[in-house]
Chains A and B, each alone.
Chain A
């Protein structure tokens, strides 16, 4: 990689050991992935729940946090993905004290580094959406795909160590989706049924993710017959990224880099084309619901809910009561508004539990299942359905309305 004078100084240790570690890590990554140089970035977003970090990762952070202040602080706005707990609800979830303590240690270390503990995966809705063409270093797959695709920003998947490194150095290796040529479509999806519900958008994301299959694929969708809203794109993108490890999609006529197909179609190339219809979305959902007629809990999470989704849940619970655990997870930015507007009170009066700043699958989900006797779970998040099976749950993908109905029917599934 070609380094500027400033980057050489960072590598030589002139700016302290944290920056030196950071740029050496970035050079190692950049070399492997063919980056020619670095690109300055405007924001960094760090994914670092303690289930992923482990004690080893927290101790790694704490070593950085013990450095002199002038050598350890991030130099660009740096925010965080959800925690592995809602500190106010850990006991309710039957999380162990050591989990909560480890999260607190991570928070303390990050704060010493100057990181803003936003604890959200919907920062593009609630903190600061990036601008078209802005280079950033984001570290949640749902955040990256939304910002790349819907905002037209430029980021790769930056895991925790790399996002923190970008925060410390103010730059990231220039490869992948920072490059114009990488943002062209590699496959076409002809959609004959525009989804209506968030779970359907997630199902579409899951199907396209499986068709795409790897990080370097860029699907371009045609046939979407209206402009989807932000929550719809949130669920579609989160599922697409989860199922396919995809970081960028185009919806022709909708997303900013694909006003026309010719904007993203490589010249002279015929791309693989797949058709996806309503029956495919139905089959996707049914593949998860086989032989499940009753669930132990309902979870709205992954991604965190927007204020609008919180209102939708509160409205669906009107005059009803959940008689199995019903978790509604949102961001710390939305929660105060939900409290102020009475949405939290309405959800909890109906038997739900509102959690903030965490994500269900990032919160020692296996241990929670064992402690609470949870096995079968219903959700309207295709991303959560994709992930939670590895934690020992059997998930079912339902609409928000069907999830609420199921929660209020003792867990008996309604579709």
Chain B
């Protein structure tokens, strides 16, 4: 049976379930997103043109500057935001932004999570407890 549950080293926020939007690429709210339209806007990004609203984003690493620390809070206030962030590697800004926005995020796997979770799969993200995880509910 192929593995469907992947454990992270850290998590915060609440349990969510939703469709995964997956790419081997980074995440920065300022650099990558048109936050008004809710789409990836940086032309070089592998998800350019895709909507992230309500999706569980499964990406490689937090990128860029410090703006995301405010921006997740701003995005949540307008209701135009992902359901959760699942990253191979975070930086402090992503953690700070998720903390202020009370947003769901897990990170740090012993494999490349962007290769493990199928794009479009229904996934469950459970950030609490000693072993936060993402589970593929249906590919």
User: Which residues from chain A sit less than 8 Å from chain B, CB to CB?
Assistant: 25, 28-29, 32-34, 47-49, 51-57, 60, 139-141, 156-162, 175-176, 213-216, 241-242, 245, 361-362, 366, 386-387, 389-392
Q: Is the CB of B68 within 8 A of A390?
A: no
CA distance A257 to B111 in the complex (A): 33
Contact assessment for A157 and B91 in the assembled complex, using a CB-CB cutoff below 8 Å: yes
Residue B100 contacts which of A25, A214, A390 (CB distance < 8 angstroms)?
Answer: A25
Q: Which residues of B contact A (CB under 8 A)?
A: 10-12, 26, 30-34, 41-44, 61-71, 73-74, 76-78, 89-93, 95-97, 99-100
Contacting pair B73 A28 (CB below 8 A): no
Contacts of B77 in A (CB 8 A): 54-56
| Chain B residues, CB < 8 A from A158 | 66, 92, 96
Alpha-carbon gap, A92 to B73, bound state (A): 30
B60 to chain A, nearest CB (A): 8
CB distance A390 to B31 under 8 Å? yes
| CB <8 Å contact, B31 and A386 | yes
Closest CB in chain B relative to A115 CB, distance in Å: 15
Interchain CB contact under 8 A, B74 and A56: yes
Cα distance A241–B62 when bound, in Å?
A: 12
Q: How many A-B residue pairs have CB under 8 A?
A: 134
Residues in B whose Cβ lies below 8 Å from that of A55: 74, 77
Given contacts A32-B10, A56-B77, A390-B32, contact A141 B42 (CB under 8 A): no
B112 smallest CB distance to A (angstroms): 13
Are B99 and A29 closer than 8 Å at their CB atoms? Answer: yes
Residues of chain B within 8 A (CB-CB) of A53 are 70, 74
In the bound complex, CA of A48 to CA of B71 (Å): 10
Does B12 lie within 8 Å of A32, measured CB to CB?
yes
Report Cα–Cα, A213/B61, bound state, in Å: 8
- B96–A29 touching, CB < 8 Å: yes
CB proximity of B107 to chain A, nearest CB, Å: 8
Given contacts A159-B66, A386-B31, contact A214 B41 (CB under 8 A): no
Complex Cα gap A103–B100 (Å)? 20
Whether B91 lies near A245 (C-beta < 8 A) is: yes
B67 touches A216 (CB 8 A): no
Cα separation A42 to B96 with both chains bound (whole Å):
20
Q: Could you list 29 examples of A-B contacts with CB < 8 Å?
A: A25-B100, A29-B92, A29-B96, A33-B92, A47-B70, A48-B70, A54-B74, A54-B78, A55-B74, A55-B77, A56-B74, A56-B76, A56-B78, A158-B96, A160-B66, A161-B97, A213-B61, A214-B89, A215-B61, A215-B90, A215-B92, A216-B89, A241-B65, A242-B64, A242-B65, A245-B63, A387-B30, A390-B30, A390-B42
